[in-house]
Amino acid sequence: MTMKKISQRDPLLTCRTAICFGLACCFLFLGSPTNSLGDDHHSKKKSLDRRLIQKLRRNDVHAIDLGPTASTEMVELGQALFFDPILSGNRDTACSTCHFPSAGTGDQLSLGVGTGTTTPSKVSFFREKGEGRSFIPRNAPELFNKGSVLWESQFWDSRVATAYGSISSPAGEDLPLGLATPLAVQAMFPVTSGDEMRGSTADFLDPHKDNEIADPALDGDLPGIWNALMNRLEQIEGYADPVDGLFVKAYGEVPANLGFESAATALAAFESTAYSYDDSPFDEYLKGNRDAMTEAQKRGALLFYGKLQCSSCHSGTLLTDQKHYNLAIPQFGEGKDESGLDLGRYLVTGNEEDRFKFRVPGLRNVTHTAPYMHNGAYYNLADAIAHHLDPARSLMNYDADEQLIQGAELADTIIKERSVLRDLIKTADVKRKKIKPAEMSDLLEFMQALTAPNIEIRLESTIPSSVPSGLPIDHFGE
Ligand code: HEC
Ligand code: HEC
């Protein structure tokens, strides 16, 4: 039954129904009961919903399932480990340093600052790189909704991924058994990276640092590093107490009897419990609540799934096909290998056609996860989107001062070599598309609809007041 039919029969009934759209509408209905503005408005709204629902169905976008739940004890262990700098060789860097809740589970930096910082326990713009240290070559991604069983890969280049029923990773045969998900496998690696958490040979040799994890005898020996970390945890009562220790509570065993995979599994349990939300306006809409999104958000969604074809890559329930594309993003920093560039997925597969390709990010809570792209090249969401719509121009006119956090330190490293820029543009997977200012505004409204309500408060509530090692916890800002 449409509003139109009702209004023709009984203007008063229309008026009552229209109260939910505001009193102003009500008077309009009364003033011209037949072909009223309110009517138009309502049927437009309906047809917007009809078109959008059809698109979502066609694109296989469903209400998100946040994944299996873990025991409270497992999550508590994971939370302690996530915030405890004890997992870094020099005791100055935790997972939370680069994935801080109040920074949208990132670090607000374009490129991260790992161990050896001169400002330990400070995150955000105030964290500074230590003398002679390198920036982490890529942007720290957000950790939202990673517990969903739909995730098949981790990292910008998917170097951890499910393949033929098992999980492949850079550790190859060294990867211990018992890691159930790519997310748990991922957590094995930050502690083994010299720049991120482990530290350097110089740190090992520095008697003040007491960094046994960076022992060069363990270089290339991942199981050795993981064991050294479990030995460290065994020394800390909060983790190792045989009655009250966090490991006993979660596993019934002390750290001495467990491998680092038990820590990684707990870290994954914490990440997926703490940072998974299914109540953004978009997620509520997917559950069937047609009033959860505003009309501008619905118009933006129609552009996303229709005319602009964002959904050809940001597809399905996770808003990513988990495949890799070259968007001709400006290159800067030290790069990932001797080339001084970051060739992305190519470094995993060695296939020429994978050069400069990075995994499509899922976009939930994207309004809170700046800076954007695999190297944090764009600070503004509108510019990150605009880059897709004219990649060549955006690359050639890239304004480091405007966009790049750490511009002062990184501006000089921006690759301007013609041959590289030409290569990036020639092989790009996105082509120029025209968009009107009003459409961009609707698209940005749709991005807002991907953000969970009260997200700041919910994120902050995941920060513990202390960690078992007694080391200081990261804090946000100055
Ligand atoms: C020094 C900064 C830093 C620290 C410390 C750090 N990470 Fe990260 N994290 C990153 C960066 C950078 C990436 C992306 C690397 C890449 O894709 O090559 C990343 C990627 C990830 C991802 C993959 C997300 C995705 O969508 O693919 C997860 C999950 C994650 N980190 C969890 C952790 C955990 C758990 C810890 C602690 C054990 C940790 N990180 C410590 C910077 C850091
Ligand atoms: C050809 C595939 C493709 C299409 C089409 C596409 N994207 Fe992307 N998008 C990507 C990839 C890949 C990245 C990451 C690129 C990188 O970091 O090198 C990305 C990054 C983003 C980011 C930054 C997210 C973050 O966390 O860093 C946003 C926002 C975004 N896309 C929105 C859109 C919108 C809106 C559209 C439609 C106008 C769109 N995308 C169309 C592949 C695509």
Instruction: Quote the pLDDT of residue 421.
Output: 96
* 152 CA → ligand 1 middle, Å: 16
Instruction: Quote the pLDDT of residue 408.
Output: 85
**DSSP code string of 91-152:** S---HHHHSBGGGTTB-S-SS---TT-SSTTEEGGG--PPTT----SSPPPP-TTTTSTT--
Instruction: Quote the pLDDT of residue 435.
Output: 95
Atom number in ligand 2 closest to CA 446: 35
**Minimum CA distance residue for ligand 2 atom 6:** 310
Residues 329, 400: contact at Cβ < 8 Å?
no
Q: Identify the residues whose C-beta falls under 6 Å from ligand 2.
A: 304, 308-310, 312-314, 325, 327, 329, 358, 360-361, 363, 366, 369, 372-374, 381, 384-385, 388, 429-430, 443
For residues 471 and 14, the model is more confident at 471
- Ligand showing the shortest atom-to-Cα distance for residue 305: 2
Separation of CA 265 from chain center: 19
Report pLDDT digits (tens) over 39-48: 677 777 789 9
Assigned CATH topology for domain 281-448: Cytochrome Bc1 Complex; Chain D, domain 2 (1.10.760)
Q: What would the mean pLDDT of 421-443 be, rounded to a whole number? A: 96
Q: What would the mean pLDDT of 282-290 be, rounded to a whole number? A: 97
Cα–Cα distance, 303 to 276 (Å, whole number) = 26
Report pLDDT digits (tens) over 220-279: 999 999 999 999 999 999 999 999 999 999 999 999 999 999 999 999 999 999 999 999
Residue 4 reports pLDDT greater than 70: no
Instruction: Quote the pLDDT of residue 125.
Output: 81
Least reliable range by pLDDT among 25-29, 349-353, 447-451? 25-29
- Ligand showing the shortest atom-to-Cα distance for residue 85: 1
| Domain boundaries defined on the chain | 1-39, 72-276+457-476, 281-448
Residue 21 reports pLDDT greater than 70: no
Least reliable range by pLDDT among 9-18, 238-247, 287-296, 433-442? 9-18
The strand pair at 122-123 and 475-476 is best described as parallel
Q: pLDDT category, 322, cuts 50, 70, 90?
A: very high
CATH 1.10.760.10, domain 72-276+457-476, yes or no: yes
Across the chain, mean pLDDT equals 91
Q: What would the mean pLDDT of 51-69 be, rounded to a whole number? A: 96
Q: Is 333 in the pocket of ligand 1 (CB under 6 A)?
A: no
CA distances from 478 to 95, 105, 124, 229, 472 (A): 19, 18, 8, 30, 15
Report pLDDT digits (tens) over 95-138: 999 999 999 999 999 999 999 999 888 888 888 899 999 999 99
Instruction: Quote the pLDDT of residue 9.
Output: 31
Instruction: Quote the pLDDT of residue 417.
Output: 94
Instruction: Quote the pLDDT of residue 165.
Output: 86
pTM, two decimals, is 0.92
- Ligand showing the shortest atom-to-Cα distance for residue 100: 1
Instruction: Quote the pLDDT of residue 273.
Output: 98
Q: Do domains 72-276+457-476 and 281-448 have the same CATH topology?
A: yes
Q: Which amino acid is residue 242, in one-letter code?
A: P
* 312 CA → ligand 1 middle, Å: 26
**DSSP code string of 57-80:** HHTT--PPP------HHHHHHHHH
Instruction: Quote the pLDDT of residue 352.
Output: 96
3-class DSSP assignment, residue 430: coil
Residue 34 reports pLDDT greater than 70: no
Q: Is 95 in the pocket of ligand 1 (CB under 6 A)?
A: yes
Q: pLDDT category, 37, cuts 50, 70, 90?
A: low
* 132 CA → ligand 1 middle, Å: 22
Q: pLDDT category, 377, cuts 50, 70, 90?
A: very high
Instruction: Quote the pLDDT of residue 177.
Output: 95
The best mutation among 360, 381, 433, 441 to test binding of ligand 2, ranked by most ligand atoms within 8 Å of the C-beta, falls on: 360
Atom number in ligand 2 closest to CA 141: 26
Q: Is 186 in the pocket of ligand 1 (CB under 6 A)?
A: yes
**Minimum CA distance residue for ligand 2 atom 38:** 310
**Minimum CA distance residue for ligand 2 atom 19:** 360
Report pLDDT digits (tens) over 387-413: 999 999 999 999 988 899 888 889 999
Residue 335 class from Cβ within 10 Å (0-12 exposed, 13-18 middle, 19+ buried)?
middle
Q: Which of 364, 386, 384 is nearest to 374 (CA)?
A: 384
